[in-house]
Amino acid sequence: MLGHTNSITGESQSIADATIANLTASKPVFSDASKKLVSTGTQPVDQGGTGQTTYAVGDLLYASTTGVLSKLADVAVGSVLVSGGVGVAPAYASSVGIGIAPVAGTRLTLPLENDAVTPTLALGDGDTGFYEVSDDLIGISIATNLRWRVSATVLGAESGSGGLLASSSSATVPSLMPNWYSDGDTGIGSAAADQLSLIAGAVEGIRVSEAANLIDVSVFGNLTRKYTVTTNDVDSAQTYTAAQMLGGLIRRGTANQITANRIDVTDTAAAIVAAIPGCIVGSGFEFSISNEDSTHTIQLDGGVGVTIAPTDPSTAIPVNSTGRFLVVVTNKTAASEAVTIHRI
């Protein structure tokens, strides 16, 4: 119904049931260039519409060209929307490259040009993360410094540090290397199950084996022991420290200073046990006493917790002679340590 007010009488007047031609029901209505009302089937883009009449679930609108909106249909699960660049329509893709074109068959490709200061995949404040040092070599940077390298064969710390071999080891090929970067054939390998091989220059030097809860150590080549020689010319009975005994050789009376036969004494069993690295029951070592006096003999007596076998004190070491002894730990329980020293 259309209506207006009579300017003379002031009465309200109306026109009932007026029909305006060329309009279609249930359609948007606009004014054309002649200011006539017209209707259209779709809302045009320049009037705030989309130009589309139907949609499917998942459709996205995008500007396919100036003044035109198009639909981008949904695709398979897991695809992502990727920019085609300036002036190019976007598209879904299953492979994505960030700052680089994706490599066929991959899901995410990152650029190669980063370094330890700005790693490709950065974490936290950006100076820690992952990047490709060179082809097929991954670097792990910590606080702008390259700390670890990962290749097809090795996981290793930066040069001069340790590494792990990513393949089977053997008696001559180590899998744990203290300096993999420049000395990859030196470290610890395994000749077989329950065996460790100490390898230097791709040569097995020592093998440690376990069988029936017993450890066996095999040496391939010469085993050189470090000796410390103690010289004691004091003209009285002496007590040898555990360190002097471990040194391997104690010299007595080098200038005939001893004026009588002497009975020297060992350190205590507790001190001897404490001086042996990784001591267990059965641990032991050998040492010698060189009697260099030309007149008097020397015997060895045991300190607290130490027994001399087969006789205690030992049989005398003759003048200008050497007595050899084997030390064996028989009890390492605190406050109950016990050691037997055998004359050999």
What's the average model confidence in pLDDT over 305-329? Answer: 96
pTM of the predicted protein model:
0.50
The total number of structural domains in the chain stands at 3
Q: What are phi and psi of 290, to 5 degrees?
A: -100, 110
The residue ranking higher by pLDDT, 181 or 11, is: 181
Do residues 239 and 316 both lie within one domain? yes
Q: What is the Cα–Cα distance from 90 to 84, expressed in whole angstroms?
A: 5
Residue 296 in domain: yes
Output the DSSP codes for 299-315. EEE--TTEEEESSSSPP
192 part of a folded domain? yes
pLDDT in tens, 112-152: 667 888 888 888 888 888 988 888 888 989 999 888 888 88
Prior bond of 310 cis (ω within 30°): yes
Q: Is residue 337 part of a domain?
A: yes
> What average pLDDT does range 232-260 have in this prediction?
91
Q: Which residues are registered as beta bridge partners of 204?
A: 199
Please indicate, yes or no, whether residues 278 and 315 belong to a single structural domain of this protein: yes
Range of the domain at 29: 2-41
Are 336 and 301 contained in the same domain? yes
Q: What is the pLDDT of residue 27?
A: 65
Residue 317: predicted pLDDT: 96
Q: Which of 44-58, 100-114, 227-241, 265-279 is least confident? A: 100-114
Average pLDDT rounded to a whole number, residues 222-228: 81
27 or 294, greater pLDDT: 294
Domain assignment present for residue 152? The answer is: no
Q: Is residue 19 over pLDDT 60?
A: no
Residues 206 and 292 in one domain: no
Is residue 87 pLDDT above 90, yes or no? no
**pLDDT at residue 262 greater than cutoff 80:** yes
Tell me whether residue 132 is in a domain: no
Q: Among residues 219, 250, 285, which one ends one of the domains?
A: 219
Question: Contact, 217 vs 207, CB < 8 A?
Answer: yes
Place of tokens 């000796």: 227
Average pLDDT over residues 237-250: 95
Residue 18, both tokens: 């007026």
Angle at 196 between CA 191 and CA 201, to 5 degrees: 75
Spatial separation of the C-alpha atoms in residues 13 and 11, rounded to whole Å: 6
Residue 158 covered by a domain: no
Largest Cα span, the chain: 161
Domain co-membership, 338 together with 259: yes
β-pairing verdict for 2-5 and 12-15: antiparallel
Last-in-domain residue among 187, 219, 251: 219
The answer to whether residue 87 is domain-embedded is no
What pLDDT shows up at residue 83?
A: 81
Neighbours of 154 (CB within 10 A): 18
Same domain, 244 and 331: yes
Residue 339 lies in a domain: yes
